[in-house]
Amino acid sequence: DTGVSQDPRHKITKRGQNVTFRCDPISEHNRLYWYRQTLGQGPEFLTYFQNEAQLEKSRLLSDRFSAERPKGSFSTLEIQRTEQGDSAMYLCASSFERDQPQHFGDGTRLSIL
């Protein structure tokens, strides 16, 4: 049973560029969560899916952010027109059912130049 996989591990881009991250959850996990973690802080919730349905978005998720999980398997998180404040670690987690523990991937570290 492979763990949650995130790609890329690191992304460096210039301000104003668009970036897209991918998350592959643990097989058969129907819940998928995105979190953002800035240096020295705990992760903060961004959004989550049950299968392909996006059920909640945090107020942290501005209109420059969009997430999809088109077939209920992998998910993508896109940030348009990146800003300095978007620099963070973006974490993906999955769980088998609603009440089960979430298991995290290694994260994608985004650096905005």
Partner 1 sequence: AQKVTQAQTEISVVEKEDVTLDCVYETRDTTYYLFWYKQPPSGELVFLIRRNSFDEQNEISGRYSWNFQKSTSSFNFTITASQVVDSAVYFCALSAPAAGNKLTFGGGTRVLVKP
Q: 3-class SS at 1?
A: coil
**Is residue 101 part of the contact set for partner 1 (CB under 8 A)?**
yes
Per-residue x/- marks for partner 1, 57-86, CB under 8 A? ------------------------------
Max CA separation in the chain (angstroms) = 39
**Backbone region of residue 8 per phi and psi (left: phi > 0; alpha: psi in -120 to 50; beta: other values):** beta
**Is residue 106 part of the contact set for partner 1 (CB under 8 A)?**
yes
**Is residue 21 part of the contact set for partner 1 (CB under 8 A)?**
no
Using the contact rule CB under 8 A, the part of the chain among 17-25, 42-50, 60-68, 71-79 near partner 1 is 42-50
Query: What b-and-e string marks burial along 25-38, b requiring 16 or more CB atoms within 10 Å of the CB?
Result: bbeebbbbbbbbee
Shortest Å distance, C-beta 45 to partner 1: 4
Distance CA 45, CA 87 (A): 16
The helix or strand, by DSSP H or E, that contains position 19, with its residue range, turns out to be: strand 19-24
Shortest Å distance, C-beta 98 to partner 1: 5
List the one residue from 11, 29, 31, 69 that touches partner 1 (CB under 8 A). 31
List the one residue from 12, 55, 60, 113 that touches partner 1 (CB under 8 A). 55
